Each structure stands twice: as C-alpha cells, then as structure tokens.
Structure 1
C-alpha cells in the first residue's frame, strides 16, 4: 500500500504526480529552498513542496527540513504549515517503523486541524486518516485501521474521488488479513473501478498490483499472472520503486509456483533492492522470507541462510514479531533439510512460544496505550568480518604445513583406527548404560503411575463416601429437624438458636460437597479437562482471594485418557494453590493450549506475586512442588519456571498427549 500525501500544492505546482520520482526535480526544489534563506512562510511553503514531492520516494533527507517547517510555523503562528509538517512527520517515522513517534505526531496534526473548516484542511485530515489506517494495520490493530480508512473514504468520496481508490485498497487488505475474503474482493473491485474511472494509469496499476498480491496469498496463481501481464507495461513506464517492488515480488511468487527458481530468485532479489531503496522496513522484511525459501527450494542453502539471518536480526531490531515467526519457521526448515533435528526442534519451540506470546500480547494490547505496543530496539547490526579473516588465516596455515601432513599421514591413520576402535567400545558401553537407565526410569514411572492411580482411586472412593454416605445422613438430619420445627413449641431464644443450628448444618453440607467435589470433580468426568479447569478457576475468582483469568486455545480438539486429564487437573490445582498461598499474588492468569497436529498440550500459570529463587526448590520441604514434579515426570512432560524475587512467577508445563 502507498501513502496518500498532501497533494493539493503538488498538483498546482507541477501539474500532476509524474514529476515526483524525478531526482532532478527534487534537486531543483532544494536549490530553490537554498535561494530563500529567510525564516518566513514563503520558505515554509518551499520546504513543504519539496517534502511532499519526496515523501513517497526517499525520506532519508527529510527530517531536518520537516523540523525546520515546524519551528518556523510555530514562530509565525502559521497553522497550515504545522498541519502539513506534523502530517509529514507522521509519515517519516512510520516509514522507519517508529510507530509511537508516528502516532504522537499524528495527534499533533489533529490538534493543528482543529477549528479549520476549509476544504483543504478537511481533505488533508482525510489523508492523515488514511495513513493512520495503514499504520494501525501494520501493528495489528485492525479495528482502528478500519475506523481510520472509513473516516478517510467518507471525505474523499466527495472531495477527491480520483484518490479514494487507495482507501478502498487499504480496506481490502485489512479484510483479507481477517480472512473475510468476500469483503476483501468487494473492496478490491471498488478500488479498481474507482481508479479506472477517476485515477491515472499509475493509480490503476497500483490497485491491480495490490489485488494481485492478495490473489497470490489465496493461491489463485492463474488469475494473478493474467493481471500481472496486463499491468506490466504501465508499471515499467511509471518506474516507481513501490510498484516495481510489488511487481517483482508477485512475479517471483508466480515463477516459484512454477518451479522456475532462477527467474523467481532474480525477481525476489530485484524486489529486495527496491525495498531498500524506498527505505520501508515493512517491505524490507516482507521480501526476505520468500527469497530465502525460494533459495532453499532451488538447492542454495548457504545463500538462503544469509537472508534468514538478516530476517531474524531485523525482525528483532524492529520488534515485528510476525516476521520473527517466519524466521523461526524457515530456520527450522533449513535445519531439517540438513537433518539437524535437534536445532530444528529448538526453532520450532521458539516459534511456538512466540506464537503464544503474540496471542497473549494481542489480548493485553487491546487496553494498552498505542505507544507501549511496539518499541524499536535500535539500529541493525552489521555482519562481523572476523570470521572471514579467521578462515583466511586457517587456509594460509594449511598451505604452509601441507608437507608435514603428508609425512605424518600414516601415523595419523593408525591413530585414527585406534581411536575409532576405542570410540566404538565406549559407545557400546554408553548404549548399555542408556538401556539400564531407561529400564530404571520405566520402573520409576510404573511405580509413580501406581501411586497416582491409587491416590485418585482413594480420592474417588472418599468423595463418593462423603457425598453418598455422610452427605445423605446430614441431609436427612436437616430434613428431620426442619419437620420437627413445626411440631415443637419453643421460646423465641430457643427458636433463634434452632435456626442457627439449621444454618450451621446447611453450611456443613455445602462444605462437605465442596470437599468431595475437589477430591474428584464430577465435571471433569462428564465434560472434560477444559470445562473442569474453567470451572475451578471461576470458583477461585469468585471467592475473592485473588483475581484469576482463564484462557484456552485449541482445547476443543483435546482428547486424552482419564488418568492423563486428572493428572493435568491436579498439576493446575497445585500451581494455583502455590501462587495463592506462597506468592502473595493479586492477579493470576491460567492458559491451556493444545496443538492438535503436534499433539502437544501446554499449561501456563502466571502471577504478579513476589516471586522466589528457583534454586530454593531443590531444598523445598513441602510436598506441593514434589507432587507437581512427580506428576509431570509421570506424563513424560517438561516444566519451565521463570521467576525471581519481586518479578512474579510464570510456570510452563508441556506434555505430549
């Protein structure tokens, strides 16, 4: 998507938008600025003309000019200059991924527009809404994105129908991201129709290119290729970096689908060069994944790894988590292709944990300030050249000693044979020891299983005895006493005491049923683990002891035997109990996540309590933590703890079901 800039003065000064990409024209505008050194509104208008022409081409040199516009406009109380300067500043920082600063200057621009009812101000404010729709889309705030696009479209449909197609295009992209395909296609067709009716050939090409991108995302390659061939002459003639980027990216995807990897790689690399030229971090990251994947498919893993490392480092530096997910997924694929299953699994685990973090962050960010969502970590790190220098030094040393290698080759061969023989012997010993350890572990797990099953059976028996036996007796006593009340004449004092006794008996019945329910929750047997955990958390939350929230993801696919479900339920009970009793927590978050393809269940319990030293668990005297560890070992799972004094506690339990 392309930003809408404040184009009124541009159209008046240049007669159209074709001159925007001309470097000579930008140089002439800077020369005009230099010829007018006086700090007045005339200089502001000259700077304004330059920044608006250059904003969609290269924003590297703009910041000093924009800051000067703001300073002079404040000195001269020039409201129009502030409106345009703040709006341009929003574009400048958004292009660099600094969204907190972009939204800050957008707020300043809206304040500058207040009270100005001129048609120019109304249109420029609509352009600002459009740009904010783009920025909100980039950070995943889709509701706000639709809001800003709608505000922009409402005005531009009346005042500037020749550019409203860009707004429709943005709305199509949002609905496409939300997987609302019908709405997305509807706005794509509106965008193309509006551009063909009111826009220039370049605008028509832009709408087609974005529609093609979404078609490719839905694997509609045939229609995409037909439309791409249709707009190619216009794109080449316009020679605009952003359109050339989208064209080469789409062309590369189509060649990749056809397995024509040479042509696909060439187009992806060309798109990468255009992304770097327009200084747009969003586009720079978007092209790296497809390029690296195509290189891997083409059998060029070394070069693919360079682009994957760049994708990972930049996604971390720019704090764009969705692209870090792509990096982890592709790095896992890269190591799988090299049969390095351990490292591949590590990256898959990172991807899973980051996915959970993104889901959690999206829930929290709905009520958080925009400025706290994304913070730019800093500048990109460049590749260190020391490794190449080390390789050169090693090559020189190898050449120098090659003669010595020939002389000792025989001795080395004998030594290698001896080492291999010894290594084979040691490996057999390790294998035997591993088998012994495995048998001992299996024996311990069998014993643990017997203990846990016995414990649950005893819990179930006691729960039934309490509910059916003692519960029935207490209910009978309550009924008998209630019947007796109407047949016995008592003084008011005795009647009051009798009522208190009935209430105490009723409380005892409720407490007995609560204890029986906790020992073997009937809801777990009837409705499953997810419902049981939700009910238990709601009960804790309603008690007022602590504020507890429960979230579940994918649990409708969870299917496990009764023993596994009960064991997981007990683990959750112990973790929640520890947080309440020992953590001094005010808020608790419990999450259950089941990934059906991998059959992986994850339980997370987080609190904002006082935390503790993890090393202290080794010397813990209580049974709570040992019970948790034994149950996790029984299910062959793993447990991870993140805590520290004053930092709260987060416990993650993962189990292969």
Structure 2
C-alpha cells in the first residue's frame, strides 16, 4: 500500500509519487514475467542432458542461480542434484549441493536449517582435498555466523576461506572475502578496517571487470559511510551501486540496494524518499520471498507512517512485520531436531563406512574362528554354570544366616525391652501395691487412714493393669487379635489423624486369612512410619496404600514432610529404619526408601506370600 505524502507536508504530489513507484515496479516486474519460461527451459535442459555427469553440472549451475531468485526452486534442484551425486558416488558435489541448500535457506531467513546443511556439507568436504568447494563453504559459514552475531567464528571461517583462495590464486574469491569480512569489522565499529577491505575488493573486481562484485563493494562502502553518518559519501556510493545492479538486473542485489537507500533517507528524515525505496525493496523481496529483508522494510515503513500520523498504514505494516518476524522466530524451534539429525547422519555414515571396510575381514575371520569360539564358549558356559551354582548356594546360605541373626537380634531386643518394662514399670507398681497392703493391718482402727491406703493401692493396681495391657498390645496389638488387618489399620489411622495431618488410607485385595506374622509386620511398619512423621516430618498429608496380589503384599507409604539426608550417618543408622528393615528382612521381603531434604519420604515394601503361605 502506498500512502499519501501530502499528509506529511513534504511538498510531493500524491499522484506523482504513485506514478513514479508504478513505473519503477513495472521495470522490476519484467524479469519475473519470464520466470516460468526460465524454469521450463531449465527442466528441459536437465532432462535432455546427454549423460549423468552433464546432468549433474546443470543441477549445480541452476541450483546456484536460483539461490537468490527462487529459493524453493533452488532447494528442489539441489535436492535432486544431491541424490544424483550420491548415486554417482561424487562426495564433493554431494557436499556442495548441501551447501547450496544451506544458501537458499539462509537467504529465506531459515537460519537453523541453513546451519544444519552447512555443517553436513562440511562433514563431507573437509576430507575431499577440493579447496575451491571448501573455500566457498567457509565463506558461507562466515556469513552465517556474521548473521547470528558470532563475530569470532565469522572471522575464523573467513580467514580459512581467504587462505584457501590465496593458495588457489583465486582473485574473485579473495575479493569476495574482503567484501564479506568487511561487514564484520563494520559491526564491530572498526569502520576504517571495513572500508579498507571494501576498497580492496572494489579494485580487484574492477580489474576483473566483474560488475556484480563491484556492485556489492560499492554498496558495502556506502553502508559503512551511512553508519558513520557521512550521508553525502554514502549516497554517492549507493547510487553507483544501484546503477551497476540495474545494468546486471540482479534482483536480489537490487532489493538490498533499495533497502539501504531507504535507511539512508530515513537517517536524514527524508521520509518520502525513504518510503519510496523501502516500498520498491519490498516489491522485489516479496517476489523473492526474502523474509528477512521484508521484515526490515515493513518495520521501517511502520515507523514512517507513525511519524506522519497515518496510524492505519502504520498498524498494517507493523502487523506484517510481526507476522514475518514470528515466522522466522518459530523456525528456531527446529534447532534441536536439526542438530540431532546432523549428529545421527554423521554417526550413521561413519558406521556404514566402517562396516564396509571390515566386512571382508569379518567374513574371513569368522570362517576360521567359528569352531574355536563354539568350543571355547561351551567350556566357558560349563565353568560359568558351575560358578553360578556355587555363588547361588553361598548367597542362599548368607541370606539365611542374615535372616537368622536378624530374628535372634530382634527377639533379644524385644525380650530386653519387655524385661525392662516389667521390671521398671509393672514390677515397681506391684511392689508399691504390696507395701501398701502390708501396712493395712496397722490402720484397722483408723478408718480414714485405712481408706486412703486402700484407695492408693487400688490406683496402683489399676496402673499396673493398664501397663500390662499396653505391653500385651505392643507384643500383639489387641485390635489385630480381635479384628482383621484392614480394621486395625483403619483404627490406627482414625486415632492418629488430626486437622493438621490428613491421612489417606487405601486398601485393595486384603484377605482376612492373611498370615498373622505378615499382619503384625505391616501394622508395626506403618505405625513406626506414622510415629516418625508426627515426631520429625512436619507433614500435612500422608498417603498409605496396601494391596494384596496373588503372590505378595505391597505397601506404599508417603508424606509431604521435610524429608532427610539418607546418606548422612544419623539417617543411615536410624533406629526406626533399622527396626523396619529387621521386621521385613525376617519375612524375606524388600523395602525401598526414597527421601531428600525438602522432598518428603516415600517407602515401598513388598512381602512374598510364599514365605509363610497365604
């Protein structure tokens, strides 16, 4: 869309501006009118090639030609050329076609895909002893890293390309590198170095009579002066560059030239001239599908329209800028896939190459060594089988010993605890009751004293009875004796839960005739876990799941508490953990404890039913 400059009070007639742009666009449109004819001609030439080698040359010629004219067409031609190169086992051209695909993706703004193709090309070309092709690739890599602002890598690749071109005495290549690398120095703010390189390139291209190369050098010099705000010199070189490009009819270069002129006039607040040049650049870059240049044109057009109050036009241009910018940005999502593909294809190619080299050797070795391997394998298997049998028997004996020791230790500890409880608790209470009873005869005449002693004795005996019940419950929970494990667990959860601690109990498949030893171990383990949670975890939620399968009972306990460091000494040597381990080990079960500071506690235990039968 062309907006009316009269709104901006720049003194230009709206119709004159539109007419001038229309005439320029007609001039630029002419080359595209014959695009289909050119494509048909290319297809015809390739199909009528005398042999495969001739066809390969045509694919390369036109893939490079279309890389700045029709990106999609260039990619198709490079793809077909690469297939033919692989068929003919021409690794050099296979790598070069990958480079050309990278160029087409680079110019269309797909930098991630471009980088992938460049490095796939490098993996093929670096060992082919073809400096011309390798130099072109290093130049493209330098430009790629220049675009991504990785200037050290850009200069490194430009230097590699320059050294190869010097070895070949290739003045065209040397001049190209002076131009391309000068842009890096320009980005780094080293304008004198940049202009010096551009000027060297310009002189070499004049000697060669290369108008295309001269056009790029002149544009780069003009761009450098623009950045230095030397607008008169900048316009002089950019106009010279434009004249050469109009002669060569290089559409890609013309699009860039008009864009830089737009920036020149923008910097001087000549918004009408800036608008005209950005519009012309957009006309060309739109047909070329040069997204990166279109994005810059729309962004600057939006600024121009906004400055002059044409908000509708500014919004439209800004929206187009955002659409293109988003489409370019979304291409970055493919970076990891491209990198993985690159690594995979490189590794796969190396593997195939190694397999081919060793194929003959393997056949010969296999024929002579097969019998020997079979014989050695038989003896080894017999020896291994015997060792495994001995190892298994030792392990069984070891586990039985450990289980026996664990049972003995657990029983001894339990007896000691019961003895202490009886001696220090119930025994002391009964002794006190006996002392009170022994003095009753002395207070028969004192009714009040007699009654006090009797009440005290009853209280002591009641406490002793309660302690006895507690001890009995610890030996075998009363609720387990009277009821099943599900009822006992539900009772334990009901008594332990509180408004501050939510306990979720899930039971599945538990049978009433479950072995008593398993029931006690499960009950005690869950009770121990709940006690640890209440004392140490500062948890708000606990989840308990107990499930009986055909051959085992599985229990899972988890809380959302503070957890602890399982590798610390106090964590490894915890008495509670030791008790849980001992109980489960007696039944030849397993348990897995997972915890970490701030991550809560998770315990899973499995007890096989065949230990005691169902």
TM-score when normalising by structure 2: 0.46
TM-score when normalising by structure 1: 0.44
For the pair shown, the structure with the greater C-alpha radius of gyration is 2
